[in-house]
Amino acid sequence: MDLTNFRFDIDTDGIALLTWDMPKRSMNVITEDVMSELHRVIDKVAIDAHVKGCVVTSGKESFSGGADLNMLQALGHDYARMVTEDGEEKAMQAFFDGSRKLSVLFRKLETSGKPWAAAINGLCLGGAFELALACHYRVMSDGEKVRVGLPEVKVGIFPGAGGTQRVPRLMPTGDALQMLFKGEQIKPALAKSMGLVHEVVPQTDLVERAKAWIRNGGKGIAPWDEKGFKPPSGKVFSPVGMMTWPPANAIYRRETQDNYPGAKAILHAVYEGLQLPIDLGLKIESQHFAKVLRSREAAAMIRSLFISMGELNKGARRPKDVPPTILKKIGVLGAGFMGAGIGYVIANAGLDVVLIDQTQEAADKGKALSHKLMTEQVSKGRAKTADRDALLARITATPDYEALKGCDLVIEAVFEDRTVKAEATRKVQAVLGPDAIFASNTSTLPITSLAEAWDKPENFVGVHFFSPVQKMPLVEIIKGAKTGDRAVAVAMDLVRVLKKTPILVNDARGFYANRCVFAYLLEGHKMLLEGVPPAMIENAGKQAGMPVGPLSLTDEVAIDLCRKILHATRADLGEGAVDPGQMDLLDTMVTTQNRLGRKNGKGFYDYPETGQKRLWPGLADLQPNKLDADAIDVGDLKKRFLVSQSIAAAQAMAEEIVTDPREADVGSIVGFGFAPFTGGTLSYIDGMGVGQFALLCDDLSKKFGSRFDPPGIVLDLAREHETFYGRFGAKPLLARLDS
C-alpha cells in the first residue's frame, strides 16, 4: 500500500502490523491525511482474506497526542463560508458530517469483521485513545512515561469520537464520568484496573503480545456488539442509576458552575447514550459534539489553551536571531520559599543548581524543601528514592557566592527591597562579570530600576515565577528599558526546559498578571466594605469562573504583602494610585487584628489546625453597612469580577505592557485562573463584542464607580468595529452558528 503516515506489513501468520510514524513530526497527530489513509487500511484488512487481524502501534516514542485541533478551527471557517455560499441548512449538515468523521472512521474499524489490537507506547491521548478504545484488544507498555487519557474537556470540548460511549460501557458509570470530567492522564496499572486496557507488558513484548491475542483467536467484535450486552452499571433507570445521576449532576454544578458546555455535554451524551444501542449512542454523542464545537466557550478555549499556548511554549515570542542556549548550571539567590521552589523546579528539570543564602543554615533550609517535595512524590509512588537522591545531588546549598562560577544564568529571589536586591546583584557581578545573564524574580519592583545595579543592563531581565513554583505553570519574562534580546532568549530557554509557559511583558509596576490579580482583589475588598455578605463575595467569584474567591486569594498572597504593595504604590505614584477604603481595610487587618493571611493562620478566613478553613466571623465588624443578600444582584457581582480584570488587561495592551493578545489570554488563565471558559481576559471582551463590553463598562461605572470606565483602547476598537485579536494580528475565533 502507498502510505505516507503509516507502515503496513503482514507477517507469515497473516497478522498485519500498522505502524503509525508520521514524517517530520516528533509526535503522531490525527489529520485529514491520517484519517484518509486509515480508511484505506481498514478496507484492506477487512477485504483481504489472507489478513487475520491487525495490530496498530507507533513508530515514535509516544503513540499519539490525539487530533490536530486546527482541523476543528477549519470546520468553523468552512461553515461560515458555506452559510454565505450555500445557505445555512447545507452548511449545518456539512459541519455535522465533518465533526463526526473520526467517530464514523473508528466505528468502521470496530465493525470491520476482523480483530484489531492496539499496542500502546508513550502517550496515547484524546482521539488516539478513542482509536485504541475502538480496537477489540488493548495492550499497554509498562514504561514510566506511558499514559492514556481523554483530556479534551480541558480545552473546552469533550471526547467526540466514541469516548463518551465506549468508556461507560467498560466501567461503572460513576467512574466513567469522573474520568471524562477530569481529563487526567492515566498510568498503565491504573488503566488496567479500570478496564481501559487488557494487558500491561514490558515495551519489548508490546507488539508480540498484541499479535498473540489475534493469533490465539481474538474476536473482531466489541463487547457492546455482542447479543445481550449490559453496561457495568446496568440501566440508567434503575436503583444503581438513581444513585449515580443525581449526585453526578450536583458535582457537575459544583465544579463547573454551569460555565462549560463541554462538561455539560458529557453528562448528556453518557446519560442519553447508555439508554440506546451503540450506533445511536454515537450519533447522540456527535450531535452534542457539533453543538459544543459551535460554542463560544469551546472556540475560545481551543484557541487559548491549545493553539496559543502551544505556540508560546514552542518559542513564538523568543527572539529569532539568538541561537539556543544549552543550560547546565543555574544560580538562585535567596533560599526562602520562592527561591527554594525555583531551585527545586530547576533541579527537577535535570540542571545543576547553586542555592545561595546568607548563612549555611538558611541555604540548607531552602534545600530541605526539595527533599520534602521529592519525599512526597516517593510516598505517592510518583518517584523513587534514587530519583530524590539524584535531584538533591544537583543542588549545592551555600552562602559562598564563588560557587556561582560557571552558571549560565543567575536568578535573584531575595527579599522584596531595592537595597537588598542591589547588594545581592553586585555580589554576583563581582564573581561572574557583567557579561553574564542576570534575572530578578521580583513580583512588583520595576526591572529597569533594578538593572541599574548591573553594569550591562542589556544582560538584566525579569523572570517572574508564581507561587507555589512547583505547581504554577506561568512565568513572566520582563523586558526592562535596556534589556537585550540575548537576555530574553536565555530566560525563555530556561522556561522551556522547565516545561512552563512564558509570556513576554514590558516593564511596568505589577507587570501584567499582578495588575489583573489586584483588580480582582480590589473588587472583593470593595464589596466587603459595601456590605455584601463575605460568603456571597466568595461564591460569586467562583461562579464567575475564578478558582477561589478574592478574600481567600488575598489570604494566599498574604494580607501584609498586599498592604506593603499598596503602601509602596502610594509612595511612588501618590494618593490617587490606591483605593483609600482598601488601604484602610488592609491596615486594620494587619496592624490592628494581626491577621496576615494563611501564613499565620488568621486572615479573612480562620485556619484551624484540624478541619477546614472558615470565614472569620469578625469580618462583620469591619462592614460599615450590611446589605440584604436577597436584594443583591449576583449577576452584577460576577460581572464586576471579570470586567475589572479585563479592563486591567486592556489597559496593559494600551500601555504596551503586553503586546500580543495570545499572551494576555494564556497568561490570565494559567497565571491567575481567569475564567478559562472565556478564553482569557481579552477573549472575554472580543467574545461578547467590544462595543457590548464598552456598554457593560458604562453600566457598571454608573452603578459602582469610575474604575469601570471603558479604557480608551476599548472605545477606539468599538468605534472602528475591531477586536483585540483582529487589530493585533492574531487568529480569530472559530466561526459560530450563533454569531
Q: How far apart are CA 517 and CA 673, in angstroms?
A: 9
Active site residue 272: no
Nearest to 445 by CA among 468, 474, 425: 425
Alpha helices in 64-205 (DSSP H): 70-86, 88-99, 101-110, 127-134, 163-166, 173-182, 188-193
Find the catalytic residue in 37, 110, 130, 538: 130
- Known catalytic membership, residue 152: yes
- Measured between its terminal Cα atoms, the distance across the chain in Å is 44
Q: How far apart are CA 354 and CA 363, in angstroms?
A: 10
DSSP 3-state percent helix, strand, coil across the chain (nearest 5):
55, 10, 35
Pairwise CA distance, residues 128 & 653, whole Å:
38
Alpha helix ranges (H) inside 574-711: 580-587, 634-654, 661-672, 681-688, 690-704
Contact 165, 180 (CB under 8 A): no
Point out the catalytic residue in the list 37, 110, 152, 412.
152
Residue 127 in contact with residue 65, Cβ under 8 Å? Answer: no
Find, among 178, 215, 437, 235, the residue nearest to 327 by Cα.
437
The conformation of residue 64, written as its DSSP 8-state character, comes to B
Relative to beta strand 501-506, strand 438-440 is unpaired
Instruction: Say which residues have a Cβ less than 8 Å from residue 652's Cβ, sequence separation at least 6.
Output: 505, 508, 512, 515, 516, 658, 664
Q: Which residue has the cell 472559530?
A: 734
Cis peptide before 232 (omega within 30 of 0): no
Active-site amino acid positions: 130, 152
